[in-house]
């Protein structure tokens, strides 16, 4: 790939077998304008903040540059689609930051590609701002995630239920390789490409791999361990991904593809927001089960690499997959113990706590942030007697560590109604609500007295009950 003006990008993914990608021509848009840029992130990953504000950057990040679209397959709500790929996205290059980590620059909403399958390849401003807001909040929580470098308004209208403003998001990730990428190759019997893909991912994101064939089962083991940690972290902040298809699971362990995602206000373990998740497949409490289901699909795609004897390959894979749930449970219990200020907390007490919150229709974030301050939490329970009983059981677990709680319990989350308010305002040309929300989400564990209302749950009129993917 040719370097784009002042900011040279590397490009290693195109060195992988051609079955994994297709070239995409530049697709200029009518009138690109920056809506928001992330200078701090740019500096962190090795991109010049000066370049980021330039016309060259505007052209590159609006899609006016050659690139490649990545191929992958995927199980979408349990149904296998053998060919998906970047239908409205493209990879424009890679940068190596001061931390020596290689990261992709990936555009969403940049236009049609070989994999578009009839779609328009574009994205709406609202959907791209939602991803910007939520991914930056996740980064501030310390949860592995893709990041948002910029949103560019295209000056064009995108037809959805109505005409909406078009936009392109620049997404930053350690990798855009998904479970579905492996499925794509396995469905085509591309064993050599599978090996090459594993070696590429290992070299980029998985240090310490053994030499020889053992590296393949070792890679699966690492992916399983990272996903167990990631899903536990999601659940500890009340996050619901909303569309955990295999093409939306990054093998490097980052949260990817913020479509109909949401953070819970009132807690309920079966909470679903996604408008397309009619049966609750990806509800809050189903996320570990579905992560294991996705990982099982990854193992199936890699079976030929584990051993030439299929039965032996299956046994090797099953042995690793069986480690997921114990690893998840340990990570979740550890995370919940921290939220409660405890060094150790048994699963039974966590279950009792969550059931009490569900019975009381309690706001998930505000319960834990209120508990952290030592303020009265009676209102979060069905009645005072249940609260008194719970508090006694909590204190009986040992010394409460306030510092542990303050580091584990955000005061601010990107609540659905606040995101919607910021999007509506941005569509009308007012970016103040967006910047106000991003300000508190950049330091979500800190008190922001002037912005305290952003921590409040929605009123009945403000509540958002459904979220959408934006395609």
Among 128, 144, 106, 112, CA closest to 9: 106
Pairwise CA distance, residues 102 & 104, whole Å:
7
With left for phi above 0 and alpha for psi between -120 and 50, is residue 109 left, alpha or beta? left
| Residue 379, Cβ density class (10 Å: 0-12 exposed, 13-18 middle, ≥19 buried) | middle
**Antiparallel, parallel or unpaired: β 262-263 and 123-124:** unpaired
Q: Give the three-state DSSP class for 236.
A: helix
Q: Give the three-state DSSP class for 93.
A: strand
Q: Give the three-state DSSP class for 152.
A: strand
Question: Does an H or E element contain 76, and which?
Answer: strand 74-76
DSSP 356-375: HHHHTT-BHHHHHHHHHHT-
Among 30, 468, 13, CA closest to 260: 468
Among 205, 215, 178, 143, CA closest to 294: 178
| Residue 85, Cβ density class (10 Å: 0-12 exposed, 13-18 middle, ≥19 buried) | buried
Tokens of 148: 């948002």
Q: What b/e string do you get for 3-25 counting C-beta neighbours within 10 Å, with b at 16 or more? A: ebeebebebebeebeeebbbebe
Residue written as token pair 């090797």:
316
Pairwise CA distance, residues 151 & 432, whole Å:
15
Q: What angle do CA 413, 337, 402 make, to 5 degrees?
A: 75
Catalytic residue positions? Answer: 247
Helix, strand, coil percentages (3-state) for the chain, rounded to 5, are 45, 15, 40
35: β partners: none
């Amino acid at each position: 790939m040719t370097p784009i003006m002042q900011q040279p990008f590397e490009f290693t993914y195109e060195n992988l077998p051609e079955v994994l990608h297709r070239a995409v021509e530049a697709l200029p848009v009518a009138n690109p304008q920056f809506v928001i840029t992330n200078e701090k992130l740019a500096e962190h990953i090795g991109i010049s903040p000066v370049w980021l504000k330039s016309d060259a950057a505007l052209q590159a990040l609006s899609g006016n540059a050659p690139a490649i679209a990545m191929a992958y397959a995927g199980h979408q709500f349990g149904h296998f689609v053998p060919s998906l790929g970047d239908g409205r996205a493209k990879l424009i290059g890679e940068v190596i930051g001061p931390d020596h980590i290689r990261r992709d620059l990936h555009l969403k909403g940049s236009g049609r590609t070989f994999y578009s399958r009839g779609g328009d390849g574009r994205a709406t401003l609202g959907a791209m701002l939602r991803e910007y807001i939520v991914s930056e909040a996740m980064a501030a929580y310390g949860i592995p995630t893709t990041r948002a470098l910029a949103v560019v308004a295209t000056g064009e209208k995108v037809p959805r239920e109505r005409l909406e403003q078009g936009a392109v998001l620049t997404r930053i990730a350690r990798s855009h390789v998904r479970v579905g990428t492996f499925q794509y190759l396995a469905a085509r019997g591309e064993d050599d490409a599978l090996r090459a893909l594993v070696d590429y991912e290992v070299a980029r994101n998985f240090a310490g791999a053994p030499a020889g064939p053992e590296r393949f089962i070792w890679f699966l083991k690492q992916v399983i361990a990272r996903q167990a940690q990631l899903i536990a972290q999601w659940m500890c902040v009340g996050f619901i991904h909303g569309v955990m298809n295999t093409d939306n699971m990054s093998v490097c362990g980052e949260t990817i593809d913020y479509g109909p995602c949401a953070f819970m206000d009132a807690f309920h373990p079966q909470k679903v927001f996604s408008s397309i998740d009619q049966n609750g497949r990806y509800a809050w409490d189903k996320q570990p089960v579905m992560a294991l289901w996705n990982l099982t699909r990854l193992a199936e795609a890699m079976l030929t690499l584990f051993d030439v004897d299929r039965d032996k390959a299956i046994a090797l894979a099953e042995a690793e997959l069986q480690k997921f749930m114990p690893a998840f449970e340990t990570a979740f219990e550890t995370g919940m113990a921290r939220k409660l200020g405890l060094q150790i907390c048994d699963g039974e007490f966590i279950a009792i706590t969550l059931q009490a919150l569900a019975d009381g229709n309690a706001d998930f974030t505000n319960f834990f942030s209120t508990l952290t301050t030592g303020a009265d939490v009676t209102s979060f329970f069905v009645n005072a007697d249940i609260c008194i009983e719970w508090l006694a059981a909590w204190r009986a677990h040992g010394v409460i560590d306030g510092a542990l709680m303050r580091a584990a319990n955000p005061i601010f989350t990107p609540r659905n109604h606040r995101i919607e308010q910021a999007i509506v305002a941005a569509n009308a040309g007012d970016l103040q609500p967006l910047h106000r929300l991003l300000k508190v989400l950049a330091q979500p564990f800190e008190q922001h007295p002037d912005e305290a209302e952003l921590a409040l749950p929605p009123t009945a009129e403000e509540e958002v009950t459904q979220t959408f993917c934006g395609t």
